[in-house]
Each structure stands twice: as structure tokens, then as C-alpha cells.
């Protein structure tokens, strides 16, 4: 379905971003990977994806907390793979502390990556999408884009902001073939969440299975993690003609989290 399209997926060396990159590659899209990690492992991932799905796969390790790097990443994708048809703003980090203890540098880091990077990437990718009158912009928000939790002030503010950005971009492109939507996952078992499970296990002196059950029990009625593959399937749907008139929508995939 996506043969000939080029997808830039930020934060795709791991977790949800990798799940979306794999799902798009399986539909024939060429992929620009981005994110941090061990160079040899990333090269193995890049070459493996290209081989498995018979698509072009490139990688750039741009640090998206820096606006100039975001703009450069879009330009490098356009130069190397020819265009950006699908932009998935997914790279994100987490830090937890009460508001009065929240380190200003952590606030800055989360806002820069989880919110501002999406603005700079959209700004850079939109002209090419407009020229071709087709584009898909998918922002990885969170259940925390719709509701809050304690000790996550920067993350919740960034994800709520990202949903606002999603709506504005959707309105400004409403009469074009470009759509902009957001995916709002609940708990997905990725390194980002594993750190929170480990911290809870250490704090409460419990094993990791019990800690992960407590995490799910507090928020996610299904008591099961969402998977990167399920999120990838949703991203593929958003790239399909069936989603042409979905514009500015926050799509929950959260085991019932925000239904409560
Ligand atoms: P993850 O830690 O597995 O992946 C994060 C990715 O971002 C990695 O590829 C990492 O290298 C990359 N990254 C980190 N800092 C970067 C930077 N400065 N520049 C470029 N890339 C950078 O985490 P994940 O759980 O897959 O999270 C992906 C997105 O999903 C995030 O936006 C996160 O907020 C969101 N999310 C996660 C969950 C969850 O339960 N895991 C739930 C809702 C939303």
C-alpha cells in the first residue's frame, strides 16, 4: 500500500517508533530511522529492515532536542530518500518528580524533545507535502495528552501541547491531501516504561512482575500492555485512504485508560 512513499520516523531505534517503522516498511515504505543507541546494533537494525521488507532504509542520529538538528534531519531525508511523505514525530523522554522538585533542565529537555521537535519537523516537512498534495503527519502523544498523572508535569504539558499542535496543523491542511493526527498510547512495555517499573520495584521493595502489575492496575483496565505492533497497525491505517478524512484526532490505544 505504501510502495514509493518515504516515512521519517523519529525515535525509531527502539520501542514504539521501531514498531511503527517496521509496520510501514512491511507496507513497502522507504524508511528514515532516527534515534540513539549502539552504532553496530543500529546498523544491524537498518540492514535487517531493508533486507526483510525489500525497502530502502537510512539512518540519521540527529539529536532532536536541538531545533537545527530537526530541520537538518528532514533535509537529509529529502536529499537521501527523495521526499518525506509520512512524518512520525515519536521521539520522547520521561522524567518524574513533584512540580516543586522538578529540575528546570529536565523541564527544558522534555519540552524540547516531546513538543518543540514536532513543531520544527512539521514546519520543515510541510512544504514538500504541500507540493505533492499528499502527506501523513502522525504525532505520538499519550494517554497523558488527554489526562494527567502526578509527578509528570513536563511530560503531561508536552503531550497536551502536542495534541493542540496536531489540531492546528490539521486545520491548516484541511483542504489538502495532508492529514495530521495523534496516537495516544497507554502503557507500552518499552525501555521508557521499563525504567518506571524498575524504579517502582526498587522504591516499594517488590519484584518487577508485581511492579508492572501495579503500574497497569493503577491506570490500564485491560491489565495488558499495548504493543508496538498494535501501534504500528494504527499508523498504517492512518496512512491508508480510509483515513483521508480523519483530521486532528487523538486516537486512544490504551487498554481503557481514558475511558474511566
Ligand atoms: P523508547 O525509550 O523505547 O524510545 C525512544 C526513542 O527516542 C529511542 O529511539 C531513543 O533513542 C529516541 N530518542 C531519545 N532522545 C532522543 C533525542 N534527543 N533525539 C532523537 N531521538 C531520541 O520509548 P517509547 O516508549 O518507545 O517512546 C516513544 C514515544 O511514545 C515517546 O514520545 C513516548 O512519550 C510515547 N509514549 C510511550 C508510552 C509507553 O508506555 N512506552 C506511552 C505513551 C506514549
Same domain, 19 and 136: yes
Same-domain check for residues 47 and 108? yes
Predicted confidence at residue 192, as pLDDT, reads 87
Rounded CA gap, 215 and 96, in Å?
A: 14
* 155 assigned to active site: yes
Q: Could you tell me the pTM of the whole model?
A: 0.98
Q: In whole angstroms, what is the distance from residue 227 CA to residue 258 CA?
A: 17
From the number of C-beta atoms within 10 Å of its C-beta (0-12, 13-18, 19+), residue 139 rates as buried
C-alpha 54 to ligand 1 mean position (Å): 26
pLDDT of 180-230, one tens digit each?
Answer: 999 999 999 999 899 999 999 999 999 999 999 999 999 999 999 999 999
Would you state the pLDDT for residue 247? 98
Residue 1 lies in a domain: no
SS3 150: coil
State the chain's mean pLDDT as an integer. 98
Q: Please identify which of the residues 53, 120, 155, 187 carries the catalytic annotation.
A: 155
Ligand 1 centroid – CA 97 distance (Å): 19
Alpha-helical runs (H) found in 101-222: 104-110, 117-132, 153-172, 191-204, 208-219
Cα dihedral 16/17/23/26 (nearest 10):
-140
Contact residues of ligand 1, CB 6 A cut-off: 11-17, 34-37, 63-65, 90-93, 113-114, 140, 142, 185, 187-188, 190-193
Q: How many domains does the chain have?
A: 2
- Looking at the fold, whether 181 and 215 belong to one and the same domain comes out as no
Residue with cell 510501514: 24
Grid coordinates of 164: 493542540
Distance 131 CA to ligand 1 centre (A): 30
Question: In this prediction, what percent of the chain has a pLDDT beyond 90?
Answer: 99
Residue 153 lies in a domain: yes
Q: Pick from 8, 13, 16 the residue to mutate for probing ligand 1's pocket: most ligand atoms within 8 Å of its CB.
A: 16
Q: Each residue of 3-19: pLDDT tens digit?
A: 999 999 999 999 999 99
Range of the domain at 102: 6-187+226-259
Tell which one of 8, 15, 22 to mutate to probe ligand 1, the residue whose CB is within 8 A of the most ligand atoms: 15
Q: What is the pLDDT of residues 151-175, one digit of tens each?
A: 999 999 999 999 999 999 999 999 9
Same domain, residue pair 195 and 138: no
- pLDDT score recorded for residue 162: 99
Residue-level pLDDT at 252: 98
- CA torsion 201-253-64-81 (nearest 10°) is 130
**Contact in structure between 74 and 125 (CB atoms under 8 Å):** yes
Amino acid at each position: 500500500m505504501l510502495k514509493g512513499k518515504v516515512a521519517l520516523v523519529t525515535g525509531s531505534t527502539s520501542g514504539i517508533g521501531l514498531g511503527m517503522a517496521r509496520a510501514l516498511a512491511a507496507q513497502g515504505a522507504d524508511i528514515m530511522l532516527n534515534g540513539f543507541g549502539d552504532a553496530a546494533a543500529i546498523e544491524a537494525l537498518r540492514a535487517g529492515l531493508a533486507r526483510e521488507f525489500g525497502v530502502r532504509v537510512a539512518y540519521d542520529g540527529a539529536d532532536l532536542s536541538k531545533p537545527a538538528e530537526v530541520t537538518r534531519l528532514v533535509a537529509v531525508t529529502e536529499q537521501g530518500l527523495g521526499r518525506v511523505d509520512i512524518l512520525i514525530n515519536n521521539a520522547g523522554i520521561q522524567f518524574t518528580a513533584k512540580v516543586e522538585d522538578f529540575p528546570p533542565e529536565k523541564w527544558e529537555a522534555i519540552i524540547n524533545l516531546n513538543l518543540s521537535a514536532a513543531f520544527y519537523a512539521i514546519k520543515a516537512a510541510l512544504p514538500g507535502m504541500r507540493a505533492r498534495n499528499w502527506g501523513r503527519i502522525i504525532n505520538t502523544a499519550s494517554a497523558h495528552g488527554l489526562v494527567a498523572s502526578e509527578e509528570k508535569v513536563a511530560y503531561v504539558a508536552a503531550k497536551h501541547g502536542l495534541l493542540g499542535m496536531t489540531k492546528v496543523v490539521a486545520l491548516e491542511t484541511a483542504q489538502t491531501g495532508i492529514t495530521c493526527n495523534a496516537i495516544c498510547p497507554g502503557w507500552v512495555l518499552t525501555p521508557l516504561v521499563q525504567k518506571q517499573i524498575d524504579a517502582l520495584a526498587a522504591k516499594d521493595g517488590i519484584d518487577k512482575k508485581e511492579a508492572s502489575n501495579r503500574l497497569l492496575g493503577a491506570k490500564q483496565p485491560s491489565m495488558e500492555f499495548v504493543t508496538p505492533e498494535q501501534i504500528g497497525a494504527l499508523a498504517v491505517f492512518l496512512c491508508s485512504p480510509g483515513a483521508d478524512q480523519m483530521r486532528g484526532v487523538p486516537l486512544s490505544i490504551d487498554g481503557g485508560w481514558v475511558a474511566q
